[in-house]
Amino acid sequence: MKLTGAQILLKTLKDEGVDTIFGYPGGCVIDIYDELLRSDLRHIFVRHEQGAIHAADGYARASGRVGVCLVTSGPGATNTITGIANAFMDSIPVVIITGQVPSHLIGNDAFQEVDIVGITRPCTKHNYLVNSTEELAQTIKEAFFIASSGRPGPVLVDIPKNVVQNTIEYKAPKTVKLRSYNPTYNPNMKQLHKVVELIREAKRPIIFAGGGVLLSKAARELTELARKTQIPVTTSLMGMGAFPGSDPLCMGMIGMHGTYRANTSSGKCDLMIAVGVRFDDRVTGKTDTFTPHAKIVHIDIDPTSIRKNIPVAVPVVGDCKITLTHLNKLLDETDLSDVQKKRKIWLDQIEDWKKTQPFAYQQGAVIKPQYVVEKLYELTRGDAIISTEVGQNQMWAAQYYHFDNPQHLLTSGGLGAMGFGLPAAIGAQIAFPDKLVVDIAGDASIQMNIQEMATAVQYCLPVKIVILNNGFLGMVRQWQEFFYEKRYACTLVEHAPDFVKLAEAYGAVGLRAQKPEEVEAVLREGLFSPKTVIMDFVIEREECVYPMVPAGAPITEMLLV
């Protein structure tokens, strides 16, 4: 069968199970787009390549499948860098296909030529330049294999124009086998026996769950472990939903803006079982004072995560789901009858911290952002997929929306990329057309990819955008208030568009609430509308996110309300 490179590319994508591509055309991918016209692959035309990669990322986070993004060479490719770095930091499986100038022009500074493989080497899990049409199918197959196996991540495939134009005799790609790449999925059982012993001995244990639990789809196994052993659970921002937020054993998020009980318990615990985490500095604060009394068990598929930032007593390299399944089985063979009684003092202590130091805010005449998120949680019964932008809006979303299910919070955790929320919500809505998808945004970050409103409206995606509008770059302002004597250098957003009119200009619905009593009505109208909606909540301008641990301080030393 004779096929062109473009036909081979689309065929291979379909064979990999791809149904949707997020992209933006250009000169070096024009042949691929021409072929797309005759394909049943769905293409979502975004308005900026950064939107394409974030949308593919949001699609991947929500669905657990590989997200695909297609852009042209040069500026098309460089516009995806932020999104690639974002997916890399959060280990999201995305395949990025970039057009490249024809092979004979590479290195000549041709029109719209950049060395995208060179540029993205440090922010992709792996990347490829395809040298010939013969290599194309195998390379795409490898890219999907690498992106979705082991610790997932973005893989970029750069395809010169002549490679997609050439016609060759098509040969189906072989099963991928890379002798240099063999992730360890199965844990060392000897280590797991040690873990069981530690769980039996521990008086004040906690579980710390991260994004790795969600990536390996191990939320059920983690929940089983926690309930069986009566160990309270805290999660990182990336791990929210790994354990039901409404479960009595859930302590909420740990770290810079974590709950009092999560942070305080980390200072007191004698055992921490860390699953699918990488001990980011926003979690640990000052590393030498992190969990001073605890033995740490660290379960992760990536050996580099272990002992990178924090010394570990029992390292376990393995897939979270497989490891937790084995661990649960071992625990089933262990006598845990006294566990309820043994944990009582510890769990009572945590309950007491919860009662004395809850998340709190004072309702006044002006709308409080926390109130908006609380109401949103109430009205959606915790069932919406929430994407966030970055900053205060992100932290309030994490604190006041309780995630009972995995893959319901889409947030830029590692990179902290403003402008992620709207395109990510679009990607999630494409993956789940019938789900309610809400982007919790700030007035500054929403403007970083606001052009994607057009994408949402064009494809009739009923994405809801909740803007917590304080007229500031809120989180930086908060730092300036706390640590720079309120010198608000360039954090005041002196001019912003009228978001209601802007929504209307895009053909969406625009709503606004200015008083607390209007919040519920606006949310009801917005959430139940079948259209794309921006809800603009004019909030208390200098509201802060509490608790806060100053950067580099021990996480047990929190600034409280």
Partner 1 sequence: MTAEKHVLSILVDNQPGVLSRIAGLFSGRGYNIESLCVAETTEPLVSRITIVTKANTLGIEQINKQLNKLINVIKVHELTGTAYVEREMALIKVKAKPENRAEILRIVDIFRCKVVDVGLEHYTIEITGDEGKLAAIMSLLKPIGIKEIAKTGIIALYREPK
Q: Which residues bind partner 1 (CB under 8 A)?
A: 117-118, 121-122, 125-126, 129, 146, 178-181, 302-304, 307-308
Residue 146 and residue 155 in contact, taking contact as beta carbons nearer than 8 Å: yes
Instruction: Give the distance from CA 97 to its chain's centroid.
Output: 21
CB 342, min distance to partner 1, A: 35
CB 97, min distance to partner 1, A: 18
Q: Which is nearer to partner 1, 121 or 344 (CB)?
A: 121
Catalytic annotation, pick one of 16, 49, 374, 543: 49
Active site residue 475: yes
Give whole-number Cα distances, 522 to 89, 108, 399, 465, in Å: 35, 56, 22, 12
CB 153, min distance to partner 1, A: 10
Rounded CA-CA distance 397/237 in Å is 10
Residue 409 and residue 240 in contact, taking contact as beta carbons nearer than 8 Å: yes
Q: Which is nearer to partner 1, 125 or 161 (CB)?
A: 125
CB 266, min distance to partner 1, A: 22
Q: Which is nearer to partner 1, 158 or 374 (CB)?
A: 158
Catalytic annotation, pick one of 11, 125, 141, 161: 161
Q: Which is nearer to partner 1, 179 or 487 (CB)?
A: 179
Instruction: Name the one residue in this structure whose structure tokens are 């803007």.
Output: 467
CB 179, min distance to partner 1, A: 6
Catalytic annotation, pick one of 45, 112, 349, 542: 112
Active site residue 7: no
Rounded CA-CA distance 425/218 in Å is 23
DSSP 381: T
**In the structure, how many helices (H) and strands (E) does the chain have?**
22, 20
CB 304, min distance to partner 1, A: 4
Active site residue 203: no
Active site residue 112: yes
Q: What residues pair up with 70 in beta bridges, in sequence order? A: 23, 97
Instruction: Name the one residue in this structure whose structure tokens are 């921490």.
Output: 272
DSSP 539: B
Active site residue 161: yes
Residue 370 and residue 361 in contact, taking contact as beta carbons nearer than 8 Å: yes
Q: Is 102 helix (H, G, I), strand (E, B) or coil?
A: coil
Q: Which is nearer to partner 1, 312 or 544 (CB)?
A: 312
Burial classification of residue 175, based on how many CB atoms lie within 10 Å of its CB (0-12 exposed, 13-18 middle, 19 or more buried): exposed
CB 147, min distance to partner 1, A: 11
Q: Which of 465, 531, 424 is nearest to 63 (CA)?
A: 424
Catalytic annotation, pick one of 475, 535, 548, 558: 475
Q: Which is nearer to partner 1, 118 or 433 (CB)?
A: 118
φ, ψ dihedrals at 260, nearest 5°: -60, -45
Q: Which is nearer to partner 1, 102 or 315 (CB)?
A: 315
Q: What residues pair up with 206 in beta bridges, in sequence order? A: 272
How big is the chain by its Cα radius of gyration, in Å?
Answer: 24
Catalytic annotation, pick one of 1, 14, 111, 482: 111
Q: Which of 381, 417, 415 is nearest to 401 (CA)?
A: 381
Question: Annotated catalytic sites, by residue?
Answer: 49, 111-112, 161, 475
